[in-house]
């Protein structure tokens, strides 16, 4: 498999190329709580959020919660969805539990379902990973695909509880017989549980993530190198990226 970069055809791992295509397809498919068209609208809004005037003023403020106004958002998305997307994209490091609860309980805007919020996080994570890959290679962003027909199944895991994070999560021991179970595939660390209120989103993101990064069991296998660059080089990039993004995980 090859990919064109700066006029040169460079090799690309077949497994990475496969998961990239799968990820684009999943963005366009009906999710658990949003239709394919809605998921793509969320992805498109994530791309536009960086140019939002309100977000830029909030980012520059001592606190984003003292700056009022309206987002430069799409008219076909509910205000709570636009607010969630823009804050997650532009200022995730200063999100608070109170802000999340304000979205879930409503107030000045109609409430957003907790499950819908978690799926929004999953969609943003996927489109960010896909777009940054293109940006890193110096390629233009890929056009969003056409949405697939169908309806979301809207199934919330019965065993999900709010005892780990600011949203409900599904512990491995609480996975029901009808729930998608990503834990045997991707592990059960807290980072894997973050999206577990919508289990399919754990598959969606981490199926792509492990190809962009490393499989869970490969991360601490320092006796072998699994990529064209070493563990140390990978972690240098990851650490620098985390610092730039204000990620303290």
Residue 108 has pLDDT above 70, yes or no: no
Lowest mean pLDDT among 41-50, 66-75, 159-168, 198-207: 66-75
| The pLDDT value given to residue 11 | 86
Lowest mean pLDDT among 19-28, 67-76, 147-156: 67-76
| The pLDDT value given to residue 61 | 96
Q: Where are the domains of the chain?
A: 18-212
| The pLDDT value given to residue 165 | 93
Using a 10 angstrom Cβ sphere, with 0-12 exposed, 13-18 middle and 19 or more buried, the burial of residue 128 is middle
Q: How far apart are CA 203 and CA 152, in angstroms?
A: 16
Percent of the chain past pLDDT 70, that is, above it, reads 98
**What average pLDDT score do residues 115-136 get?**
96
The set of residues, in sequence order, having a beta carbon less than 8 Å from that of 117 and lying 6+ positions away, is 84, 100, 103, 104, 167
**What average pLDDT score do residues 244-249 get?**
76
| The pLDDT value given to residue 151 | 97
């Amino acid at each position: 498999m090859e990919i064109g970069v700066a006029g040169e055809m460079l090799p690309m791992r077949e497994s990475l190329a496969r998961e990239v295509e799968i990820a684009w397809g999943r963005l366009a498919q009906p999710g658990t709580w949003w239709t394919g068209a809605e998921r793509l609208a969320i992805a498109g809004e994530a791309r536009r959020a960086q140019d939002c005037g309100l977000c830029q003023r909030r980012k520059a403020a001592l606190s984003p919660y003292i700056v009022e106004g309206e987002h430069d958002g799409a008219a076909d998305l509910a205000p709570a969805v636009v607010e969630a997307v823009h804050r997650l994209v532009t200022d995730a490091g200063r999100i608070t539990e109170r802000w999340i609860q304000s979205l879930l309980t409503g107030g000045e805007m109609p409430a957003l379902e907790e499950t819908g919020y978690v799926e929004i996080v999953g969609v943003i994570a996927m489109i960010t990973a896909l777009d940054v890959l293109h940006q890193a290679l110096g390629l233009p962003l890929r056009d969003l695909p056409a949405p697939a027909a169908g309806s979301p199944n809207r199934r919330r895991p019965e065993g999900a509880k709010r005892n780990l994070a600011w949203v409900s999560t599904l512990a491995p021991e609480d996975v029901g017989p009808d729930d998608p179970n990503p834990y045997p595939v991707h592990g059960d660390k807290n980072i894997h549980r973050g999206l577990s209120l919508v289990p399919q989103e754990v598959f969606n993101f981490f199926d792509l993530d492990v190809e962009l990064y490393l499989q869970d069991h490969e991360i601490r296998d320092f006796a072998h190198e699994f990529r064209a660059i070493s563990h140390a080089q990978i972690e240098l990039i990851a650490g620098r990226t985390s610092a730039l993004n204000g990620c303290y995980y």
